[in-house]
Structures are given as structure tokens and as C-alpha cells.
Amino acid sequence: MLDDFLTRAALAGIGTGLAAAPLGCFVVWRRMAYFGDATAHAAILGVALSLAASLPVFVGTLFIALFMAMVVSVISGRGYAMDTLLGVMAHSALAFGLVGVTFIQGVRIDLMAYLFGDILAVSRSDLAVIWGGAALVLALIGWRWNALLTATLDDGLALAAGIDPKREQLVLTLALAVVVAVAIKVVGVLLITALLIIPAATVRPFAVTPERMGIMAALVGMTSAWIGLRASYEFDTPTGPTIVCVTALLFILSNIASRIRQPG
């Protein structure tokens, strides 16, 4: 069954949506959208490093994502606003990555596949990395769920409960780095943030508890991946962008439905 490229693509999209959407809830709650976007943009430098060192792309992108998070946490609050630091580092890393890949000899590089994804070229090993990463992210979120929620509500409340907010921020950063690393093959570095944010934003008007929002976001993420893949196959459109388009349409429909539900 896994010899069928469409089956592998579907499993890759579902696995990525399953991991990205629940994590996206915390990104939305904590207003970390720009941080997610910056991490995704910087991942292209990780791609360049992986290719230069003959390492799996997952290793390089994960390293760069974690390195960027550490640097931001160290230099934040030293005269620059957080969005300024993220903007400088993200676009600098993206530029250095794009330039760096041109110096790699003997390797055929399809930049479009890294920028916008190439889900139809997912291999068995890629599938193992994607689902392994998804399992790790879900395990991290499930393990630290209550602590993450408390730290998201208020740092002071977290400290009073014996929870270190910086540690929970590190857990989120690690999970975000893993999602970025596994999602490159599916939607590319330029569209990863959409897969994080839009499913969570789509279900927010209908979720009465954080747990329900996480589950509903995962369902929207997986459904978008499946419908986007089918639509891409039927209309011969780029698969990664098509998945994001489906997610965006679901967000629009969700907002229309929530307005209709409102009294008056």
C-alpha cells in the first residue's frame, strides 16, 4: 500500500496536520505567530547546512530552529523589540540559506520543493520522520498540557503553582522546531505557519474548552490535508499551497457560521 505515492502523500499530510494544529492552539493563545513564521523562514538555512554536510534535512532544520530560539531568548530585551529581532534573524537566515545552497556542488536542488513543499515525492523514510516527529510533538504537548496552559494564562500564576514559565516556553520551542522540520516536505518553509495558525483560528469560535479546541484543530488540519491533496490531484495544482487554500476556506466558512450563530 505504501508503494502508492498518493497513499504516502495522504499519510504525510495527515501526520503533519495532526502535529501542527494542536501546537498551533498555543501559538494562537500566546500570540507567537511571528515566532513560528520566523522559525519556518530560518529553516531554509538548515536545509543548506544539511545538504552541505550530507545530513538528513530534518537534522539541519531542527538544529537551526532550536539555535534561533536560543539566540532570540538570549538577546531579547536588550534594546530591540521582539518582532524586530525575529524579523532580522528570520529573513537573514532565509537569505543566507538561499545563497548558501548555490555553493553546494554535486547536489541537484529544487528550491521550490523546499519553499512550497513537495508532498507527492514523500518517501517511506520521509513518512517515518513525519510520523515520528508528530508522535514526539503530541507526546510533549500531552505530557505538559496543564503546565503549558497555566504558563499561557499568566507567568505569575504559573510560578505560584510551582511551574517554570521559561521551561514551558522551551517545550513549546522544541515542539515548534520539530513541526517545522517535518512540515517542510509537505507545505514548504513559506507555508508552515499557515498550517499552524489557521486550523486553530478556524475552530476557536466553537471551542468551549482548550482541550476541545486542540482536538478540533487537529481534525481541521488533517481534513484540510486530505481535501487539499485530492483537490490538487483533480485540478493539477501545487499540493502544499492547495492544502493551505483549503484551510483558509474552512476558516472563512467558520467565521461566517459563527456570525450566523450570534444572536441579533
Domains of the chain, CATH where assigned: 5-261 (1.10.3470.10)
pLDDT reported for residue 25: 92
**The C-alpha cell that represents 218 in the structure block:** 487537529
Q: Which residues contact 138 (CB under 8 A, 6 or more apart)?
A: 18, 19, 22
**The C-alpha cell that represents 221 in the structure block:** 488540519
* Cα(51)–Cα(65) distance, integer angstroms: 16
**The C-alpha cell that represents 60 in the structure block:** 539541519
CB-CB contact of 196 with 23 (8 Å): yes
Which of the four pLDDT bands, split at 50, 70 and 90, describes residue 158? confident
Q: What's the whole-model pTM score?
A: 0.86
* Cα(66)–Cα(93) distance, integer angstroms: 13
Question: Which of the residue ranges 1-15, 52-66, 76-90, 143-157 would you say has the lowest mean pLDDT?
Answer: 76-90
pLDDT digits (tens, 9 = 90+) for 232-264: 989 989 888 999 999 999 999 999 998 887 765
Q: Is the dihedral of CA 148, 249, 35, 137 positive or negative?
A: positive
Q: Which residue has the cell 483560528?
A: 201
CB-CB contact of 93 with 44 (8 Å): yes
Which of the four pLDDT bands, split at 50, 70 and 90, describes residue 150? very high
pLDDT digits (tens, 9 = 90+) for 65-81: 788 777 766 666 566 66
- Per-residue DSSP letter, 105: -
